[in-house]
Amino acid sequence: MAKSKSSKRWTNEKEGIFLEVLQQTGNVTKATVQAGLDRSLVYRRRNMQPEFREKWQNAMGQALDYLEAYLWDKAMGKEVSDVDQGGRVVDEKIAIFLLKAHRPEIFGDGKKRQDMEGQNKGESPRIRLMKKLDQMAKKSIDGG
């Protein structure tokens, strides 16, 4: 069996590489590979450490800002290259889809999305699920 190049050992250098690649690409898998980290380790760290979660959100925000600025310039008739600094072609339809998915409050279809009453932002999916199940159980007990 081939040995993986990823590691369970966290370093500040690896974190920096991860965040830089995430900022440039918006791609967690690519960022973990470049940093030499296991995806599970990175997600676990995001769920357990609010400071790292904030850095992650900032990096993703910058990646999305790039897409938004590109589309804005294109819409305003500015001369923009369809090829980014990494030599990749920017697909406008996919860029719009990504912005709709990651920034629905701005680029969504206007339908209001429930955020479980806005109280669970930043909590792990497991905790959100448990709270939702508790709410459902309470409603069924109360007959509602």
Claim to verify: residue 90 and residue 143 sit in the same structural domain: no
Which candidate, 32, 91, 77, 72, places its Cα nearest to that of 56? 32
pLDDT score at 22: 94
pLDDT score at 2: 45
**Total structural domains within the chain:** 2
Rg (the chain; Cα; Å):
19
Claim to verify: residue 79 and residue 123 sit in the same structural domain: no
pLDDT score at 83: 63
Claim to verify: residue 19 and residue 87 sit in the same structural domain: yes
pLDDT score at 7: 62
Higher pLDDT, 143 or 136: 136
Which candidate, 140, 114, 141, 142, places its Cα nearest to that of 128? 114
Contact 115, 121 (CB under 8 A): yes
Structural domain harbouring 144? 114-144
- Tell me if 24 is assigned to some domain: yes
Residue where the block lists tokens 């590109």: 70
Per-residue DSSP letter, 122? T
What pLDDT, in 10s, does the model give residues 19-55? 999 998 889 999 999 999 999 999 999 999 999 999 9
pLDDT score at 37: 95
CATH of the domain at 50: 1.10.10
Claim to verify: residue 83 and residue 134 sit in the same structural domain: no
- Kindly state the average pLDDT of the residues 89-108: 77
pLDDT score at 1: 42
Claim to verify: residue 50 and residue 27 sit in the same structural domain: yes
Which candidate, 17, 44, 10, places its Cα nearest to that of 31? 17
Claim to verify: residue 31 and residue 42 sit in the same structural domain: yes
- Tell me if 83 is assigned to some domain: yes
Structure tokens at 109: 């279809």
Higher pLDDT, 16 or 99: 16
